[in-house]
Amino acid sequence: MPFMAISMHPRDLDILYEDNHLLVVNKPAGIATMGLPNGEETLLTVAKAYVSQRYNKPGNVYLGVVSRLDFSVTGVIVFARTSKAAARLNDQFRDHTVEKTYHAIVEGSISPKEDLLVNHLCEDKRHRKMWVTVSPTAESKEARLRYSCLKYVGNNSLLEVTLETGRKHQIRLQLAHKGHPILGDKKYGSKTPFPQGVALHAKRLVIRHPVTKETHSFEAPLPQYWK
């Protein structure tokens, strides 16, 4: 049975941090970050409703999406509350000065326990998935990540993953290409079910505040069902 979408009320948002420039939330599995047709619920529409109610803002609320997570992935998401903050944060993501750390449970006992994975990825838009090229092409993009195995859990491995690039489905595809798909990720070959979504969680995000310039580290606790 496919993993179903959830419905959220603004009061259900798990707020990790907020000020006049940022809104940081812990995204649950089962909701898209953005990009659905008008009228369909996304994390962005729920967050806008939250800001509208919380600060009594009538009309259209501005929120800039500067980081995204897939429908079935959980963890830290940052929204910008002003266009200036959005532009400055987008610069950080483009320049790779943001630190992104994920936790993942993958099938099998991964070896070596630490490694740098470098692949070239292409997008199959018709089937809404990515694939690894044997060698670079004009359409491919380099993807780099580092992982370390925190522990073996039965026949599976709990990993900490640090992204050096931010490609679509990058972690899911690169780990699957290595022979260790993420639990619950049928799109990339997992045969192991997972309670909700896939076993991939955006654990920590470190950014420079777009106005104060201070370094902020936002951390989202693992969902209860990971235990």
Cα(87)–Cα(97) distance, rounded to whole angstroms? 14
Distance CA 192, CA 1 (A): 13
| Residue 144: count of CB within 10 angstroms of its CB | 16
Residue for token pair 């104060």: 212
DSSP state at residue 2: P
What's the number of CA atoms in the CB half-sphere (13 Å) around residue 23? 24
Cis amide bond preceding 193, omega within 30: no
Whether 70 is catalytic is yes
Element of type H or E holding 175: helix 170-177
What DSSP state is assigned to residue 182?
B
- Which residue out of 12, 14, 19, 70 is catalytically annotated? 70
Helix, strand and coil in the chain, % to nearest 5: 20, 35, 45
Residue type at 169 in one-letter notation: H
50 vs 99: CA distance, rounded Å: 27
Name the one residue in this structure whose structure tokens are 């948002």: 13
The residues assigned a catalytic role are 70
